[in-house]
Amino acid sequence: MIKLLVGLGNPGQKYTKTRHNAGFLFLDELVNERVLEFSRQSRFYGDLAEINDARGKLYLLKPATFMNRSGQAVSALAKYYKIKPEEVLVAHDELDLDVGVLKLKSGGGHGGHNGLRDIIASLGVKDFKRLRVGIGRPRPGMQVVDYVLSDFGKSERQHIKELYSDFFNYLPLIQGGDFEAAMQKLHSD
């Protein structure tokens, strides 16, 4: 079962619409759809919301640290609520997928992603789940850092919001512990 859903991004208004904040956008859409609210939780170094339903409690966390310190928030909340790494799903931007492609993955390395690198270091394992949000690659000659910190285009942002809304249909499977079935359905659609 997934008990903690983390969206990665950078805090601050200037990063709100950037590609690197695809994980924050994911949780913002989920919170809006479920009519929930985030509250700042300093002991968890982030903003927290909760979904309570028949499947149990699902914590939604947006770290208030910068991307390269995301593990501080994830490990603080996981330790406090005794959540195992395999019960964590992290939504993050992914350069190796085209814009708007969503893929689920179980475990793996950081692939150069500083947020994932810090979570792996903080949890001490790679065994958490991931929702990889495609942001595509920069055009030739553009630095990766400039690209990930650039804003999504309006149509790209709208497309991703629609994909997120569709993805939320798989959340009961994921939350209920049937990650493989959710992955099969997502990847076959």
User: Under a CB-based contact definition with an 8 Å cutoff, are residues 95 and 136 in contact?
Assistant: yes
20 has catalytic annotation: yes
Phi-psi region at 56: left, alpha or beta (left = phi > 0; alpha = psi -120 to 50): left
- And the tokens for 140? 């030739």
- Beta strands 88-94 and 4-7, pairing class: parallel
Among the listed residues 20, 92, 110, 159, the single catalytic one is 20
Task: Identify the sign of the CA torsion 154, 159, 160, 161.
Answer: positive
Active site residue ranges: 20
